[in-house]
Amino acid sequence: MLEQNRWPNEVRLRKELADKWTGTDLLGEALSNCFASRSRLFGAILVAVVLGIVLSAFRYIELVQLNHQVATLQSKGRNLILIQGIDVEHEPEINVRSCEALAGSAGVERAGVLVEGERISVPQLVGNLPLFETSITLFPQLGQADMLLGATVGGSSQGAPFLLATNGHTLTALTMDLQPAGLPVNSAVLVGLSPAEKYADHCLVVLNQKQDPNRSIPDLVSQLEVRKHPIAATTVLSDLASPHGAFLTRLTAGLPLAAGVVLGLLLALMAQLRSSELAAYRLSGTGRFSLQRILMLESVVVSGVYLLSGSISALYVLPWGVLQGLGLLSSHLVAASSTVLISSLLFLSVSSRTPMDLAKDR
């Protein structure tokens, strides 16, 4: 920035340099113009910092809301698929091993069968409890204990193995996390499925939270070995759009880019208001190309401050997922790039003017 009280010395210096600005000179001038205490561009620096922080905070709030929505839908059984016979009076025979093999399919968290047995009495627990035999691929915790207790049965013992006496035997037990609707085991006891069970009339599949159940069903059904009667698949909670899909297509996803455009327009407007300062450059011998490079470097500095501010703020997003954090960083990078591109194009209308035209605007 060129202050009026510094003109004599600055004009002499510009005349000495003529239009032989080096890259270091241009960068130093741009930094001085941006960070000088009385510089008009210092306001743009502050705006860039605020934009970076606000947009990262806004994305953080969106991710918190997304995770809450996903958790709520999962508890209602959104990603739980039940594969069974089309006609309840004609039960199919689904090969248990083919059902359990679905646990290794892409997008599947766990899969298997759940066979209801007789009620069981456990002295340490109150009342007779429903007993289910289930696949270890549906409830992997069965690999760590002899039996599993529903979340409402095990109480404070959740997470730690303990011993239970039943029918004259002492067994290790674990308390499960709360299961989604459609898995009636929160008040039940689970044991491993008997090897004698070769066929079942159903197959349960739990997808990961980002998977679209409607798109996954045809592939899952095609992998099952079925006898006697046809099968169909349904979701416990149906007719719902994917929360992750809605998140990716939301209107606010374009806010970082919009911020970059606004910041670029702001820099272009400030260049118009700085015509007296820019006239001093031209009158002291600075060419149009050098002036354009100074303005562009100023834009790079401002957008760099925005990118730094947004990147540091984005660190708070990383705990919600590395991909979400990297996505936010890429959004900030696109915004910073758009700031430089838009402002540089608009700067041409200023740098191309003659020194006298710029001076008339003083």
The domain segmentation of the chain, as residue ranges, is: 7-69+247-360, 78-239
Query: Token match 């374009």: residue?
Result: 254
| DSSP codes, 199-213 | EESEEEEEE-TTS-H
**What does the pLDDT read at residue 1?**
44
Beta-bridge partners for 131: 189
Contacts of 323 (CB under 8 A, 6+ apart): none
**What does the pLDDT read at residue 158?**
60
Question: pTM for the whole thing?
Answer: 0.64
Residue type, 236: V
**Strand 131-134 versus strand 189-192 pairing type:** parallel
DSSP H or E segment with residue 297: helix 288-314
At 343, list the tokens. 């402002």
Asked if 172 and 75 count as a contact pair (C-beta separation under 8 A), the reply is no
Helix axes 255-273, 275-283, angle to 10 degrees: 60
**What does the pLDDT read at residue 2?**
44
Count the residues in the chain: 362
**What does the pLDDT read at residue 176?**
87
pLDDT digits (tens, 9 = 90+) for 266-287: 998 988 888 888 888 878 777 8
Residues of the chain with pLDDT under 50: 1-9, 11-18
**What does the pLDDT read at residue 245?**
74
Alpha-carbon distance of 273 to 17, in angstroms, equals: 25
Question: What are the strands of the beta sheet with 202-207, ordered from one edge?
Answer: 108-112, 202-207, 80-85, 231-235
> Per residue in 74-97, is it b (16+ CB within 10 Å) or e — as a string?
beebbbbbbbbbeeeeebbbbbbe
**What does the pLDDT read at residue 247?**
77
Alpha-carbon distance of 134 to 96, in angstroms, equals: 10
